[in-house]
């Protein structure tokens, strides 16, 4: 019995004349994700893409897991494929869905006839298949309103597809169709979720992490790499750039008013991130900030940071509360890693009373005490790269 995976494209079907380019990117992403599982052919048609395995030992379960994480797919089904002939469709449906049919009490058949030349209409397919399945499984009863199982029969242009229902895909747009952006990632809960959310909008990611040894440990860097590995299951490969930040933090601590430490630190992070983003051909920065969550994330604090930005700064979590963010972090399996007790540089030299409503002239006056251009250049030059 021949099996395929039928994926239903999401909002990319609305892209008009650009749709084909979005489909091409989605297929490229799927090829990359499925390559370790064996050879696969791809056939786009009618708002779907058919994934046809060419190897007998193809791991369908692993393939379904990869498809479920691919942005750009709204749903997918593992299907049996037969010729467009009811004499073939009926016995294959009974055999292919045998386990489900034997373990359920109520069912219905839904048919979709894309090929209008097929001799039976959709309602006729439903009635014929329903009668046949009841003959094969006499314990079954038809329930068209709330069935425990829905048998789907799709008669398309070339073949017929049989499955027990679609599973939800990740939605969004294929990664790579929305440009590239640099995400400023810590080891906390928020920035991996922000990474995932922007990736869902088709944005390819470069990650920037600030390390401050000896105040931060190698375990903190390893934690960030593990968080990105989990995000990469959805986002594809990610270039992680680890920036040495110790000297800059120490200078700010020694020379500036303690209450302004956090906002000045964030401004220097933004300066470095922009330089790296340009080098990496990124068009924007991404942060995990949410209004009011901490002192550096009030409106006035964010304004003091953004005023030095020369490219867009995306904050996909800006209006979310912590519970909403944690829900997504659990969904994408980053939460347990995020709460490991390895501190990042944002917790180094934390002031007792940080300014929550900083005045920009006062911030700039504090920065005039610093002379860090050489240190900025050095931090960018000495940043190390890890491929996730």
Burial annotation 175-193 (CB, 10 A radius, 16+ → b, else e): bbbbebbbbbbbbbbbbbb
Are 224 and 186 in contact by the 8 Å Cβ rule? The answer is yes
State how far the Cα of 365 lies from the Cα of 295, in Å rounded to an integer. Answer: 20
Q: Structural domain of residue 55, as residue ranges?
A: 3-170
Cα–Cα–Cα angle for 39, 41, 47, rounded to 5 degrees: 145
Last residue in a domain, options 170, 195, 230: 170
State how far the Cα of 262 lies from the Cα of 349, in Å rounded to an integer. Answer: 9
Q: How do the pLDDT tens digits run along the chain, 388 residues long?
A: 899 999 999 888 888 888 889 999 999 999 999 999 989 999 988 788 999 999 888 999 999 999 999 999 999 999 999 999 999 999 999 999 999 999 999 999 999 998 888 999 999 999 999 999 999 999 999 999 999 999 999 999 889 999 998 899 999 999 999 999 999 998 899 999 999 999 999 999 999 999 999 988 899 999 999 999 999 999 999 999 999 999 999 999 999 998 889 899 999 999 999 999 999 999 999 999 998 877 778 888 899 999 999 999 999 999 999 999 999 999 999 999 999 887 777 777 777 777 788 889 999 999 999 999 999 999 999 999 999 9
Last residue in a domain, options 170, 192, 221: 170
Please tell me whether the overall predicted TM-score, pTM, comes out greater than 0.75 for this model: yes
Q: Are residues 135 and 263 in the same domain?
A: no
264: nearest Cα among 369, 176, 155: 369
Q: What is the number of structural domains in the chain?
A: 2
Q: What is the DSSP letter of 347?
A: G
Structure tokens at 86: 């009811």
CATH number at residue 241: 3.40.50.620
Residues 6+ away with beta carbon under 8 Å from 82 = 2, 88, 89, 92, 159, 160, 162
State how far the Cα of 323 lies from the Cα of 316, in Å rounded to an integer. Answer: 15
Q: Are residues 119 and 210 in the same domain?
A: no
26 in a structural domain: yes
């Amino acid at each position: 019995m021949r099996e395929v995976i039928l994926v239903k494209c999401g909002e990319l079907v609305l892209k008009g004349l650009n749709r084909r380019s979005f489909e091409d990117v989605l297929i490229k992403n799927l090829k990359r994700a499925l390559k370790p599982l064996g050879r696969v052919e791809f056939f786009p048609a009618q708002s779907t893409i058919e994934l046809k395995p060419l190897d007998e030992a193809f791991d369908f379960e692993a393939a379904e897991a990869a498809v479920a994480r691919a942005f750009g797919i709204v749903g997918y089904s593992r299907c049996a494929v037969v010729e467009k002939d009811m004499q073939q469709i009926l016995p294959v449906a009974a055999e292919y869905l045998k386990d489900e049919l034997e373990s359920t009490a109520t069912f219905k058949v839904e048919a979709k006839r894309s090929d209008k030349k097929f001799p039976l209409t959709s309602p006729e397919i439903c009635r014929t298949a329903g009668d046949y399945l009841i003959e094969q499984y006499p314990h079954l009863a038809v329930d068209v309103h709330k069935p425990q199982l829905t048998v789907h029969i799709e008669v398309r242009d070339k073949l017929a597809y049989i499955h027990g229902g679609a599973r939800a895909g990740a939605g969004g747009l294929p990664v790579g169709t929305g440009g590239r952006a640099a995400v400023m990632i810590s080891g906390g809960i928020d920035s991996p979720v922000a990474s995932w959310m922007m990736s869902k909008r088709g944005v390819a990611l470069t990650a920037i992490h600030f390390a401050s040894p000896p105040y931060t440990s190698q375990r903190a860097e390893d934690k960030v790499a593990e968080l990105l590995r989990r995000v990469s299951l959805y986002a594809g490969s990610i270039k992680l750039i680890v920036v040495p930040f110790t000297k800059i933090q120490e200078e700010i601590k020694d020379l500036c008013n303690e209450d302004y430490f956090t906002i000045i630190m964030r401004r220097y992070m933004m300066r470095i991130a922009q330089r790296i983003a340009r080098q990496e051909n990124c068009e924007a920065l991404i942060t995990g900030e949410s209004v009011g969550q901490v002192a550096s994330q009030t409106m006035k604090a964010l304004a003091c940071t953004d005023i030095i930005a020369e490219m867009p700064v995306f904050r996909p979590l800006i209006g979310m509360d912590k519970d909403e963010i944690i829900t997504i972090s659990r969904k994408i399996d980053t939460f347990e890693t995020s709460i490991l007790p390895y501190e990042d540089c944002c917790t180094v030299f934390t002031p007792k009373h940080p300014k929550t409503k900083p005045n920009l002239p006062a911030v700039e006056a504090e920065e005039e005490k610093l002379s860090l251009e050489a240190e900025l250049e050095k931090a960018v030059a000495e940043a190390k790269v890890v491929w996730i």
